[in-house]
Structure 1
Amino acid sequence: MRERGRTRRLLGLGARTGGTLLRRRFGGEADWRALGEALFEGLSELKGPAMKLAQIMAQWDDLLPPDLTDELARLQRQAEPMPWEGIRRTLVEQYGELESRFSKIEPQPFASASMGQVHRAVTHEGETLVLKVQYPGLAEVLEGDLAQLRRIMRLGRWFKVPQVRLDALFEELAASLRSELDYHAEACALVRYRERYAHLEGLVIPEPLPELSGPRVLAMHYVAGTPLRELEGADDALRQRIATTLADWLTEELFTHGELHADPHAGNFAADGEGRLVIYDLGAVIPVPEGHLKAMMQLLDATLAADSMAMDGALRRLGGRQGQGAPLALYRESAEAVAPLFEPGEQDFSDVRVHRRLRDLTPKVWATMDRLQPPVGVLLLSRTLNGHYWNLVRLGARLDMHARTRPLLAWARR
């Protein structure tokens, strides 16, 4: 009964989303705020893959209507926690009698997300830990939720995205969601990242505790920090230090190790008391093939050169073009919007003029979906980079992107 009720609610949310998109497509008024509120309320309670997809959608600040993304972004900040009774049962399954392992576990979660929530705990030796606990029954409902998400994604056909492309995008998302249930893989990623980036003094990654971890509980040393989304009013020097570390780390991840932490929402990052960047969650780490990186850098190269035909060629190599007739005017406008961030010297990511120009492109992008399409294989890569762009905006970052990208562009031309 519970699974049927969940399916009905997901189908209802899908129907409401489809109705809004249809009204918008055929010239009617779309109430994006009302749709966002409905999605927030429904997905916050249901959690799981559907909520995760909505959080992913919220990262595309420059492609979705602001009223919709504002509501979806609440799922990263205000999602309703799972009642303690269900979480406690999972902990008892892992540890047995909790009092024998811990002197205290906080029933109120330290953080709540789509696939699990985090609780602080104190050992009998006085050490503070965090326990990342998977929501009860999530593995059982995952495939059912994914089936409903596949149906909802078929709405993309109304925007002339081919079914084969929608299926490929679904498989990329589904693989990412399934991997987030593998806490052993996340523990291994924590170990790997701690060793790999030990030389970055401004970076902190919590240490996992294998002896206290299991299939549905991941135990880590607690690292206190101020969430990135709460740093907007912080000291400028701190924000610039965090932004620089974030940019350095992402560059090394991609271009040295061919791997990417693919969950850029601001709740996964913080600043500790020493001004270091803390990364809390490594549940979504994806490989990034060199060919994908080169193709994306070639697209950036063509964009900065304002070469519309080269932009079209790069998009074709990425699999982001279909049909006849390249939208050359859109390419030119996109190049004009992006270019200021890569001019020589320090660029200010808080410059609202850049954001405004990017947002103004949104309806024009949707209008050319008969010729543009989401590139297969780089959905999570592009979503992550877009999400970190907005993280840098939140920090008010000032970075010399021209100097940072010159060697990478030269590499892509080889």
Structure 2
Amino acid sequence: ARSELMQDVGIQIAETLGEMKGAVMKVGQIASQYKDVFPPEVATALEKLQKDAPAMPYVQIRAQVERELKAPIHELFTEFEEMPFAAASIGQVHRAMLPSGQRVVVKVQYPDVDKNCDSDLKQVRMALKIAGVLNMSKQLQEQLFHEIRQSLHDELDYIKEAHNLRVFGAFHAEDTGLIIPKVISSHSSKRVLTLTEESGESMTVAATWDNDIKQKIAARLFHFTAGQLFGLYRMHCDPHPGNFAFRTDGSVVAYDFGGIRSYSDSEVQLFRRFAKHALKGDVTALEQDLVALDIRRKDDKIVPGEFYGRWLEIGLKPLSIKPYQDGAFDFAHSQTHHEAIAQMRTSLKYFGQFQPSASTMMLDRTISGQYWNLVNLGVTIDLSPLVHEYM
């Protein structure tokens, strides 16, 4: 009965928010990625908001481009496709050509989305509060919504995204097989972002290629995430398959650098310590790390070592860590997500001892997103040498 009630609540929330376009759609989208925070039925309903928003009429898009770049569109571009090839909750993307003949893509933000952002966010919070679905302390709610608000504001600021693209482009410059579009500064502003067109195939197409190509892609996706976290202390936190494209030489193109999370030196050291203890199977040290990360509540209740042991087995198997997995792991037939769900059901009695943590929320979302990317790619690979490289 509770599940049915939650389903209704979720559908109602999604319907209310769906009418609001823009910021709220984005909030629904972000919220659906924090599945540990919302009951699954509500998360599922919020996920429906992630479906492509209907395109905005070209007249409005043209007006926005001309207002932002302070020139008629035909002077700025020799070609500008009126139909977007991608729509997002806060804007849409059009193919175009510069007077120089260079092919580009132009990301245009919907007018006034930024104005409604904060009031929309308050309404979302209110809707969720009334529905009684925020299963967390007031302090944690504050942190969660601060995090959502921050990532929303970052994504609304294309100047910030342009800066991110330059920083990440420089960081990954040594790997010619990891391609990050370049910013065309003369044709970019706070609400319009023009980038070099970098094409590639979708995940669905890449999944049909030979395993040796898929291994190169998987290794690149791994380095993309781990390299940023441990080497740059900031991370691309939206590993949605649509944010990557792939080429038959194993190259990866990465898009959408609006959602970036920065980490302090102490946070990164703590993540590394946690990972080292996990690899060693040292559950006592691991529990202390979880307390430091604000995931394990500080209390006297005992959580048995087997509980952690089972989670380590589930989490480390896909990384081909012995003794859990000897040799390459077959992501196409991975049971990891099913095992995790089954383990959650059997260990519910310990869940009161844990809580979502604001510092690891984006990290969790990124790691699970990349896991799903490898599952959808259907790769068979031994990732353990790459894991040890970062330790």
Task: State the TM-score, normalized to the length of structure 2.
Answer: 0.85
Aligned match of 1:375? 357
Alignment map for 1:81-96 (pairs within 5 Å):
81-95=55-69, 96=71
Q: Which residue of 2 aligns with 1:299?
A: 274
**What letter is aligned with 2:68?**
Q
Q: Which residue of structure 2 lines up, in the alignment, with residue 269 of structure 1?
A: 244
Aligned to 2:177: 202
> Which deviates the most, 358-367 or 178-187?
358-367
TM-superposed CA distance for 1:77, in Å, is: 5.2
Within the candidate set 224, 227, 236, 2:211 is matched to: 236
Aligned: 1:179 with 2:134: no
Residue 392 of structure 1 is matched in structure 2 by 374
Identity of aligned residues (%): 30
TM, length-normalised to structure 1 = 0.81
Q: Distance in 1 between matches of 2:38 and 2:208?
A: 26
Is the deviation greater in 153-162 or in 349-358? 153-162
Q: In 2 relative to 1, CA 70–349 (structure 1 residues): closer, same or farther, beyond 3 Å?
A: farther
Structure 1 residues 100-109 or 358-367, which shifts more? Answer: 358-367
| 1:48 pairs with one of 17, 22, 36 | 22
In the TM superposition, what is the alpha-carbon distance from 1:166 to its structure 2 partner?
Answer: 1.3
Query: Where in structure 1 are there 5+ consecutive unaligned residues?
Result: 1-22, 410-414
Equivalent residue pairs, number: 383
3-state DSSP of counterpart to 2:316? helix
Q: Select 1:331's aligned residue among 295, 308, 315.
A: 308
List per-residue Cα deviations over 1:205-262 (Å, max 9, x = no partner).
1111111111210111111222335533344333222111111222221111111111
Partner of 1:97 in structure 2?
72
CA separation of 1:143/1:274 partners in 2, compared to 1, >3 Å: closer, same or farther? same
Q: Contact (CA 8 Å) 1:229, 1:267: kept in 2 or not?
A: no
Out of 251-260 and 336-345, give the one that drifted further.
Answer: 336-345
Structure 2 SS opposite 1:168: helix
**81, 95, 98: which one pairs with 1:123?**
98
SS at match of 1:165: helix
- 1:203 CA drift (Å): 0.7
Structure 1 match to 2:220: 245
Counterpart of 1:113 (choices 80, 85, 88) is 88
Counterpart of 1:81 in structure 2: which amino acid? Answer: A
Instruction: Work out whether residues 281 and 309 of structure 2, in 8 Å CA contact, stay in contact via their aligned partners in 1.
Output: yes
- The change in CA–CA distance for 1:83 and 1:40 in structure 2 (over 3 A counts) is farther
Structure 2 counterpart SS, 1:119:
strand
CA contact (8 A) 1:63 1:359 kept: no
Matches of 2:54 and 2:18, distance apart in 1: 6
Tell me, in whole angstroms, the C-alpha distance in 1 between the residues paired with 2:310 and 2:144.
27
- Counterpart of 1:143, as a letter, is D
Relative distance call for 1:138 and 1:391 in structure 2 (3 A) is same
- Residue 321, structure 1, aligned to residue 296, structure 2: yes
| Post-superposition CA distance 1:4-31 (Å, at most 9, x none) | xxxxxxxxxxxxxxxxxxx53xxx5457
What's the RMSD between the two structures over aligned residues? 3.1
**1:362, distance to aligned residue in structure 2 (A):** 4.0
For the Cα contact (< 8 Å) 2:211–2:380, is it kept in 1?
no
Say if 1:353 and 1:368 are closer, same or farther in 2 by CA, change over 3 A: same
- For the structure 1 residues 207 and 319, does the alpha-carbon distance in structure 2 shift closer, same or farther, using more than 3 Å as the test? same
